[in-house]
Structure 1
Amino acid sequence: MNFIENPIYVLAILCLMVLLSMQAAKTKLGGKLSAALLVIVFTAVLANLSLIPSASNAIALYDGIFKYLAPLGIFYLLLEINLQSLKKAGAPMIILFLIGSLATVLGILGSWYLVSPQNVLGDKGDIIAGMLTGTYTGGSVNFNAIALEYDFQKEGALYAGTIAVDNVMTTIWIIVTLAIPALLRPLWKDKKVTLKAQKEVANASDALNLASMMWLFFLGAAAFYLSDLIKQVLPQIPFILTLSTLGIVLAQIPYIAKLSGSRSLGMYSLYLFLAVIGAYCEIDAVLELKDTGITLLLFTALAVFFHGILMIGIGGLTYRDWDMIAIVSQANVGGSTSAIAIAESLNRNELVLPAILVGTLGNALGTYLGFLVVGIL
């Protein structure tokens, strides 16, 4: 066996690339690119230098990460979702977030019929539309959940291109949402919605201890097995949808909700998944993305633009708190992390915890809406 095909060697390299990408993301330049995109780039370089296997000579380890580790990563991340705590976000935030989620779906569908990306992307177009719906409702967890169900991750170059476009749009939308209150307030006077200040933000340690690790490993294996059984009995129900639902249900059990380390396990699993995505990116395939890349960018930009217009229009007619509308829109498009940054930048500290909580609502909804869009298209 050639040493670059040795699974232990390859796993060690993938782990090293995750480590390096996380460190690089802490730098000024790396922070603009994100660790997720960096790990893809790093492993893509190694694969094209023939230092690790690529798509044309993929090894069983890659399939194992796709089939087992990535779905379990999504499951572990969903164990953080506490649906009961959403009431702390207040009705305005929740209603606006649901409006934003609907705006995402309508934006994707509207952009689909105007841009007709299927003419360039072929039968992968509707899958990409579902992935973008998921990520612009709840984040990368939902993006990857849709991708896994349809084996889209094996379209290495196209998958990486979609992630790159998503990163560009997320960055642009951070700038837009920061500008929304300043631009709209002189044109349409707002009325600030006051919520009871949330002084305490749940920030329990995510350090993985032995007791939590034993429970999390058991829950992951059991949920995976049960989801696989349900898939065999009811093949029309997507496996990842069943696994996601089990994760959300289990997260409502107080004892399980208190287990530490689920986020760390989930994020690390997904970073290893993205590392394999990078290995699938061969230069020849990437160079063929010229027209595809332009189509992806246009399709995504128009969808997010429609989302923004609907949020401003419907939000303005209901609550008309431009700060809150901007924060909620960012929670949709960029996730709770960037929404927190917007809340702090706009000096709306009382909206920090609600932003986190509606972000978890997006994690719960995103996969379902993504599959809905795929079904519609």
Structure 2
Amino acid sequence: MTDSIFILFVLCLNVIICEWLTKKPGFRQIGTALLVILVTAVEANLGVIPTIETPVYEGIFSYIAPFSLFLLLLSVNLKDLRRAGLPMLTMFLIGSTGTIIGVLVSVWVFSAPQTVGSLFYALAGMFTGTYIGGSINFHAVALHYSVSKAGNLFIAATAADNIMTALWMIVTLTLPVFLQRRFPRQRLIASEDQSAASAENLFSDSETMTPNDLAILLSLGFGAIFISKQLATWFPVFPFVLILTTIALGLAQFRVINTLRGSRLLGLFGIYIFLAVIGAYCDIGALIRDGQLAFVLFGMILLLVLIHALLVFGIGALFRQDWDILGIASQANIGGGTSALALARSLNRPDLQLPAVLVGTLGNAIGTYLGILVAELLR
């Protein structure tokens, strides 16, 4: 079925199904993002919707995806970073450096040009972005290099990334506790300053918005995309995604825009639709035949994360830092602000919940820039 309205109906229905599934035992850990890729891939391979490019798919890649990335970046107000504290910020930046070193080493060790293929440099940029910032940066770099349209490669990378993120949550849950018992450190317990409530609000998917809120967000988003495309045409040296990211971050520094209601809600929904289209491009038969690719990518990710961890925990140990801060800073790199918030809560450190979210937003701010920088160095 190639009717555009029918395709949009199926894509939206898939988001509903996957959101419902994530509330069921066994699916909660998978998450909506990966589920929506898998469900749509099955439907496309069964012939329910097309597996080839259509006007709907092209429109989602050209407008919905960048629009959603723009909206999600509006929550990144860099003025708030001073509330994260110097130790957390320092260890987060050290972790970011470790990620870049790890990516470069893993590309060399696994001979990525031969084992991954011609898009190895883009995958390296995606891994840099996601293990400094998060999935926003992963998708932004993938969109820039059109990895999103290489369905099998993208899904293999996403699967390996999800496995690593889950494993690293287990590591950062247990390692700080173990190290505190073996090598006690003084815990820098800061004032909570309503950090738990503030952190929760930053990552709430439930928002109340008015027609005026929606109109403002649509105007800002489509206006920013238009300006970014024009500037990218006039100055080809600057990628469209980086221009759009810069405009979003510039606007996010104004509190009246940073606090607009509905930006996260619309942004997340748009990303899910974008991921559904990626699933539609997936050839499941070819993915099974090329299953070894996922193992290669997971090996690269495992090595880069180990190098990242050695740098964070090694330097942190040398300067006798709070083990909880090291674990949360590392999780903010590897899993993003949401998982860092969950880790702070699990470690019973409400004073570190807001700092965890704030360094996560810093990662969102710099991840795409550094991801594209690494990709261009390797290209």
Which digits, 9 at most, give the CA deviation of each residue in 1:219-253, with x for residues without a partner? 01110111011101110111011001100110111
Q: Report Cα offsets for 1:48-104 as digits up to 9, x if no partner.
A: 1101101xx321110110111101100000011111011111111111111111111
Given candidates 183, 186, 195, the residue that maps to 1:191 is 186
- Cα offset, 1:208, TM superposition: 2.5
Q: Structure 1: how far apart are the matches of 2:190 and 2:245? A: 31
The answer to whether the Cα contact below 8 Å between 1:198 and 1:351 also exists between their aligned partners in 2 is no
Paired residues of 2:78 and 2:253 also in contact (CA < 8 A): yes
Corresponding position of 1:359: 360
- Select the residue among 123, 126, 130 that pairs with 1:131: 126
Shift, 1:106, TM fit: 1.0
Aligned to 1:84, the other structure's residue is in SS state helix
Query: Which of residues 39, 43, 51 is equivalent to 1:42?
Result: 39
User: In the aligned structure 2, how far is the partner of 1:375 from the partner of 1:66?
Assistant: 22
Matching residue within 73, 78, 81 for 2:76: 81
User: Could you tell me how far apart the structure 2 residues matched to 1:19 and 1:256 are?
Assistant: 29
> 2:148–2:154: 8 Å Cα contact kept in structure 1?
yes
1:266 CA displacement: 0.6
Classify 1:293/1:258 alpha carbon distance in 2 versus 1 (closer, same or farther; 3 Å).
Answer: closer
Tell me the residue number matched to 1:222: 223
CA contact (8 A) 1:339 1:355 kept: yes
The CA distance in 2 between the partners of 1:156 and 1:53, in whole Å, is 13
Report the counterpart of residue 146 of structure 1 in structure 2: 141
Unaligned runs of 5+ in 2: none
Aligned equivalents of 2:267 and 2:241: distance in 1?
A: 15
Report the identity percentage: 44
Letter aligned with residue 290 of structure 2: L
Q: Which residue of 1 aligns with 2:171?
A: 176
In structure 2, the residue matched to 1:261 is 262
Residue matched to 2:21: 24
Q: How many residues align?
A: 372
- Asked whether the equivalents of residues 328 and 355 of structure 1 are also in contact (C-alpha less than 8 Å), the reply is yes
Q: State the distance in 2 between where 1:345 and 1:194 align.
A: 15
Seen in structure 2, the aligned counterparts of structure 1 residues 197 and 319 have a Cα distance that, compared at 3 Å, is: farther
Displacement of 1:319 in angstroms is: 4.6
Question: In structure 2, which of residues 87, 104, 108 is the aligned counterpart of residue 109 of structure 1?
Answer: 104
Q: Is the Cα–Cα contact under 8 Å of residues 14 and 275 in structure 1 kept in the other structure?
A: yes
* CA–CA distance in structure 2, aligned partners of residues 322 and 13 of structure 1: 47
Structure 1: runs of 5+ lacking an equivalent: none
Distance 1:303 1:365 in 2: 18
The DSSP-based 3-state class of the residue aligned with 1:30 is coil
Residue 120 of structure 1: how far off its partner (Å): 1.2
SS at match of 1:33: coil
- Cα offset, 1:283, TM superposition: 2.0
Q: Deviations over 1:338-375 (max 9, x none)?
A: 11111111111100011111111010011011011112
Whether the aligned pair in 1 keeps the contact of 2:159 and 2:294 (CA below 8 Å) is no
Q: Which whole-Å CA distance do the structure 2 matches of 1:314 and 1:296 have between them?
A: 27
Query: 2-side partners of 1:86 and 1:301: how far apart?
Result: 29
Residues 193 and 319 in structure 1, CA contact (< 8 A), matched pair in contact too: no
Rounded to whole Å, the distance in 2 between the matches of 1:357 and 1:319 is 23
The C-alpha deviation readout for 1:133-173, integer Å capped at 9, x for no partner, is 10111110000000000111010011011101000000000
**Contact 2:160 2:295 (8 Å CA) reproduced:** no
Structure 2 counterpart of 1:93, which letter? M
Which position in structure 1 is the counterpart of 2:9? 12
Aligned-partner SS, 1:196: coil
The CA RMSD measured in Å over matched residues stands at 1.3
